[in-house]
Amino acid sequence: MTPQISKGFASRVLQGVAVVSIAAIFISLGIWQLDRARALKESLVVATTIDTNLVPLDSIAQPRQSLPPAAMNRMVTTSGHYVADFKAPNQSDSQGVVSDWQVSLLQIGADSGILVVRGLWADRLLNPDISQSMLIDITGQLHARQDSDKSKNSAGVISRLDSAVIVGLTDLDLFDGYILATSESRNGEPILRARTSPEKQSSRIPGFYWQHLSYVVIWWLMAGVVLYLPLYRRKVAL
């Protein structure tokens, strides 16, 4: 084999390795997106399954961490002091009734906190004796944060049920998501008021799932193009 032929053969081998490597990268990216889509779909199944066993909040979630899928819709208990009050307009309950909700920031221990939906905003004055010095025991359902705004943020108003909208208003380490309170008590005495019900969950698969699948198609199409291009060039050369 002459040096020129040997050099040409080595060049073709290198080009082939490069093509296969690039195609393998695109295929791997497609598999990764497919896994992301599968994981998202599985998390939706978990999120719509309600476990009625009552557990401490800190046993299934931690401040400054994303809420695990297994923690969504769990019944939890915790205790703390209410340190701030917010109005959450245009919230929809399980019956589709739209109203304004009272959402309070519950300080847990010395440095953590979580949003608690206590009831209707119109009923906020039913318990005027509750102060920031009182320890309140909470039982309720833990929910994932809302992704879309229901109104605009303003003084004393939050646009959605999401700790991200109040990070600039407190130094507490906030839990992801919020608690929809089913009961509150003080020194063993229940705090009586009407409670809200969770928004009716949609069984529709969200757009992010289909976005992941579209990326799978795109990455695998690019892999196909990379593999076909050398064959096309050789065909044209002939």
Q: CATH number for the domain including 81?
A: 2.40.50.140
Amino acid making up residue 98: V
Which pLDDT score is estimated for 100?
Answer: 97
Q: Are residues 23 and 66 in the same domain?
A: no
* Integer angstrom CA distances of residue 72 from 44, 49, 119, 165, 184: 10, 8, 20, 20, 20
Convert the pLDDT of each residue in 33-52 to its tens digit: 888 777 766 655 555 556 77
Q: Are residues 29 and 118 in the same domain?
A: no
| Alpha-carbon gap, residue 22 to 17, rounded angstroms | 9
For residues 204-216, average pLDDT? 71
| Alpha-carbon gap, residue 22 to 88, rounded angstroms | 50
Comparing 128 with 228, the larger pLDDT belongs to 228
For residue 105, the tally of other CB atoms under 10 A from its CB is 23
Structural domain boundaries enclosing 64: 51-190
How many domains does one find in the chain?
2
* Integer angstrom CA distances of residue 66 from 32, 44, 72, 178, 198: 21, 15, 11, 12, 20
| Alpha-carbon gap, residue 224 to 226, rounded angstroms | 5
Convert the pLDDT of each residue in 114-164 to its tens digit: 999 999 999 998 877 777 779 999 999 999 999 889 999 999 999 999 999
| Alpha-carbon gap, residue 116 to 90, rounded angstroms | 16
Lowest-confidence range among 19-28, 170-179, 205-214? 205-214
Are 158 and 88 in contact, with CB atoms under 8 Å apart? yes
Q: Are residues 160 and 217 in the same domain?
A: no
Q: Are residues 42 and 58 in the same domain?
A: no
Are 165 and 94 in contact, with CB atoms under 8 Å apart? no
Candidates 53, 67, 61; CA nearest to 139 is 53
Q: Are residues 62 and 164 in the same domain?
A: yes
Q: Where are the alpha helices (DSSP H) in the chain?
A: 3-47, 207-237
